[in-house]
Structure 1
């Protein structure tokens, strides 16, 4: 489970390596360091370090997902713009051909002004008809020329737009790559740290986590909040909960939105998409763009946003419980709603 980050930016990798060294010799807590120096590291220190690393990974995951969504939108826009460019090119080609035909016809007609054609004609009435037709042809040519200029301007505009979107797409993909590297680095460090723990230490670490969850939940429930919140979900909320329930036991994978694995916002966005409601892909955007409701008015189907940076989200299912995709190495499961720092509640089907 991800918790509020502590001591951000303070040599996390070095601290993790120090803890690794401290944890290789014993299963006791506190864990004695091999040499004198800093105060002994404890499993609680390890837990906080893991929480911090996984939180950083989740923050980077949110940024990765946001860049991915932007890249998809830009790619779609580029495809549309390319289609418009091709249309403008065809229009330009067609108008150019029409203008060429008009010029050739005028050349074959001698290209004489209407007044001279009238003076030289043996049949003035016929000459007048020809002059009228020539004038119509000239006006038609002028219209085609104006249309061609418009088509050329549109073509240049669409081409420039496509080039701009392509540059933005490349920038979004670079951002994705940078955040992918951050995610992998944090997860690798965390897993390396966990791999150095003995079985008894891992069990104790799990017990400490569950103890913290239980204490936080008890404190939250102790406020009497569950006496105030709603107990009936909307139709869409019920469908979203049903979908989330069907995903229980599937693994957390960053950037995943089903069907075999999920990250936190991948689960909630897909749950509501299944219910017929499209919501933002990331927890940050879900917090920013969906309707906020007071916790006291929360009902099953609402989404609970966690931590001050809105980096985690879960779906509330009632009776103080949520379904969430917690973090790497875990799976979709039911957990206490108050076990993490609640930022607020949003309602996708408001």
Structure 2
């Protein structure tokens, strides 16, 4: 019963927000079919013939931000892969240094053996044994000869292996460096695309009057409310009654504590986040590191059915898995929406759900 009351409350709050918005009823932004009467003094000018409706502008802006979100996922993935390659290159560099130090040690050892032979008069060990007058000294010398030959052989073998390892390290470092550079190129390309899409969206918004901007925000809320209402009307929530795990509670606590902070693409806190930055950091705070991007979260985390969803699970949105939020119960989720918006609570069904994944399955 508590779950249904919570869902009803969420629906009611959304409805009240829509009904309370100024100019919701009967406001039209499409070009009029017939010449309009002169506007009253102080009234907004009528749109010019052929001008886009505010609904069309809204769809264009949302599409641009969606594309920026997809590019953000590509950017975050490239950043993560670049870091992995950088870490591998650093590790290889450490191995190279250790190998070079090992080679220096082996060369010193071989040099010491050569100097010892020089001090013995330069006679081969076999000749020294033949000239020995003492059988016991001969036997001891023979044993030392075998040990010395083995040590020399081992030194040369180890020197050869170490040199071979250094050659392999160099090849590995070159391969990782090429991958690193390729990821940096992808990262820069995604970054440019993000900036272009956001700039285009902001330019569209900048052309709107203050009243139109308010209406634009209301259109966004209305769209989300309709989607959430349809999702609830489908009966999706009636079967969802799972309880959060202890780790899930910690993740929710972290995510909800960020409410009100701004969205910023590529950010993982502590002052700003993008959508997957918020979810990945929330689960990291709960002691469960998960993939950085929404697409990788979908690919690598265990999937659960929507009816089995429990608080703390991650909801992946849109066909391209470009957005993610965290389910917090009662039909609601917390997420970082997009550029220009703050982290907030929204209906879990306010966007098309692609899948649900569980970080602590």
Quick check: TM above 0.5?
yes
SS at match of 1:339: coil
In structure 1, distance between residues paired with 2:253 and 2:227: 27
Cα pair 1:118 1:124 within 8 Å, conserved: no
Residue 120 of structure 1: aligned partner = 131
Structure 1 residues 172-321: aligned runs within 5 Å: 172-321=183-332
Q: Which moved more, 1:125-134 or 1:148-157?
A: 125-134
In structure 1, distance between residues paired with 2:339 and 2:57: 17
SS at match of 2:355: strand
Cα pair 2:242 2:308 within 8 Å, conserved: no
In structure 2, distance between residues paired with 1:119 and 1:288: 74
SS at match of 2:328: strand
Residue 18 of structure 1: aligned partner = none
* 340 and 121 in structure 1: CA distance in 2 versus 1, 3 angstrom threshold: same
> Are positions 1:42 and 2:49 aligned together?
no
Q: Which runs of 5+ in 2 are unaligned?
A: 1-26, 33-45
Please give the per-residue CA displacement for 1:116-160, whole angstroms capped at 9, x wherever unaligned. Answer: 334434445434433432332122111111111111111111222
In structure 2, distance between residues paired with 1:332 and 1:35: 36
The size of the alignment, in residue pairs, is: 322
> Are positions 1:109 and 2:120 aligned together?
yes
Superposed displacement of residue 291, structure 1: 0.7
- TM-score w.r.t. length of structure 1: 0.87
Residue 143 of structure 1: aligned partner = 154
Residue 95 of structure 1: aligned partner = 106
Please give the per-residue CA displacement for 1:150-184, whole angstroms capped at 9, x wherever unaligned. Answer: 11111111222122212211211111111111101
Residue 61 of structure 1: aligned partner = 72
> Are positions 1:133 and 2:144 aligned together?
yes
Cα pair 1:230 1:300 within 8 Å, conserved: no
In structure 2, distance between residues paired with 1:115 and 1:346: 74
In structure 2, distance between residues paired with 1:84 and 1:31: 70
SS at match of 1:335: strand
* 247 and 131 in structure 1: CA distance in 2 versus 1, 3 angstrom threshold: same
Q: Which runs of 5+ in 1 are unaligned?
A: 1-26
> RMSD between aligned alpha carbons?
1.9
* 196 and 126 in structure 1: CA distance in 2 versus 1, 3 angstrom threshold: same
- Greater than 6 Å deviation, 4+ residue runs: 32-36
- TM-score w.r.t. length of structure 2: 0.85
